[in-house]
Structure 1
């Protein structure tokens, strides 16, 4: 009743108040940041770990569970989902909307780095990304060339395209589909290995320790300093054939070409 009495007795005042409310409403409407159906992207961090040669059960117990236990105490976690498949572990961590994605990913990386020594030696270093590793790509770019093969196109994409797209604002990750990399396949003779009591694990261990490039120090003189580099990388099939796997029982060496 008070509002109606004021409107009847003081129409000018009521009109001014109404106009002020309308103006205030129009100004506020233009500054509204909440939509009817807001696009809310929760902070999500993904951890992808490769364990070559391991089945899903081994990946679950030796990799996934260890990483989950390490990241369980990170503040602001809403849900943790994981999938373990042959040779691969994917963990998706969803944080509360109030959690900063950069700070959350840094906390996850810190927790993961602490348990690297608890993972099997064959496990590749876990990759932490600010996105769900199980999500599908939004945009695909196709590369074709009349002069480059698929190996050269893969190398070109890695050198010139991936890094440039990764720094674009809003891009969570860039993947190369259909890529091919240069590789040397080694076909082992099971009978020769059994006769020399050599396992696949022995060969893998030697290849990981031999096919590397290591620093060997430097030589200092009065006028110059020379860096010494120990090049133990193998690039040809002939190089792998001469790789020493173990010392023979009766002397000599067992080379990869022998098995």
Structure 2
């Protein structure tokens, strides 16, 4: 039996089926993810650890090496790479393609717990990990500048307001702020003064840590109520650090201001960015694996218009890079090419057959085939 026989015998049903297929294809076309490259995911986990003030060699020996030993014991690991810089280490673990990323994450967490005893005790926080896609690339890069506000304050605005809001946009996987650091109080030791009184940098550090702490003190029980007591000794102003007692001996008191200078600064002086000759904070937006880049960027631009009401008027947000522009141009070229293709098919049929019916049939068949292809890709 001929495959086309039932469709020829039922022209009305065939017409309705073709119209339905065409409409479904048009709807499916609008929902298809758009990207410049095919989307693929590798089971990869990235571990981050920080130790402020440690040089790269110290980070590699004291932090990265113990973590690598534990992470290397996980089954299914195909590659481990680490990069250590001033005060931080980043370790990337790539697993076999058949490995579940959720199971790999649980194994990484267990390895981090096992490595906790091998790590230095002065780490501010335990190492953290997150699942990453090495094939992901930034789709949107923003630059925040201000003629009156410092880069550290801009970074604080970006980290607390802008990054949080952009991360909530549908299709966004991660938003990273770079180019500046969080505000901090920097203490610069005088090594000559420390040596003259027999103190080390570790003694000064311990004195600062003990004086700059917040924690519970206990509970005060009364007849009618109980009150929880706590200390709030955290210092924010550089002037509050100067009276800290570093050493006390036989009535002689050595304060922090005697052996060091305290000033306001940032956590990392070596992180900086400029845009149009102004200090800037860069916001890098990465999309989710199956999201539509064009729709995601459009949503981001809508959020940027709303963010102007939540940040100071002196802070300007500029678009530094927009990957959707090249993709939009490629999509337009594809649409024009498909239209020209359909016209050329009709012309070829008309020239060789010189009949109107096959020509019209070819003009209908080509768009209908494309619509059916889009419908199959969607489902």
Calculate the TM-score normalised by the size of structure 2.
0.53
1:161 shift after superposition: 2.8
Q: Which runs of 5+ in 2 are unaligned?
A: 7-20, 26-36, 260-379
Q: Structure 1 residues 172 and 123 mapped into 2: Cα distance closer, same or farther (>3 Å)?
A: farther
Q: Structure 1 residues 239 and 86 mapped into 2: Cα distance closer, same or farther (>3 Å)?
A: closer
Distance 2:170 2:70 in 1: 30
Which residue does the alignment assign to 1:4? Answer: none
Calculate the TM-score normalised by the size of structure 1.
0.74
Which structure features the higher share of helix residues? 2
Which residue does the alignment assign to 2:114? Answer: 114
Which residue does the alignment assign to 1:98? Answer: 98
Which residue does the alignment assign to 1:52? Answer: 52
Which residue does the alignment assign to 2:179? Answer: 178
Distance 2:190 2:119 in 1: 30
User: Would you say 1:204 and 2:202 are equivalent positions?
Assistant: no
SS of the residue aligned with 2:82? strand
Which residue does the alignment assign to 1:34? Answer: none
1:73 shift after superposition: 2.7
Q: Structure 1 residues 165 and 78 mapped into 2: Cα distance closer, same or farther (>3 Å)?
A: farther
Q: Which runs of 5+ in 1 are unaligned?
A: 1-12, 20-26, 31-36
Contact 1:55–1:85 (CA<8 Å) still a contact in 2?
Answer: yes
Which residue does the alignment assign to 1:6? Answer: none
Which structure features the higher share of strand residues? 2
1:182 shift after superposition: 2.5
Distance 1:139 1:106 in 2: 31
Distance 1:54 1:236 in 2: 24
Higher RCO (CA < 8 A, seq sep 6+)? 2
Aligned alpha-carbon RMSD (Å): 3.3
1:226 shift after superposition: 2.1
1:168 shift after superposition: 4.9
Which residue does the alignment assign to 2:236? Answer: 235
Distance 2:171 2:44 in 1: 13
1:171 shift after superposition: 4.1
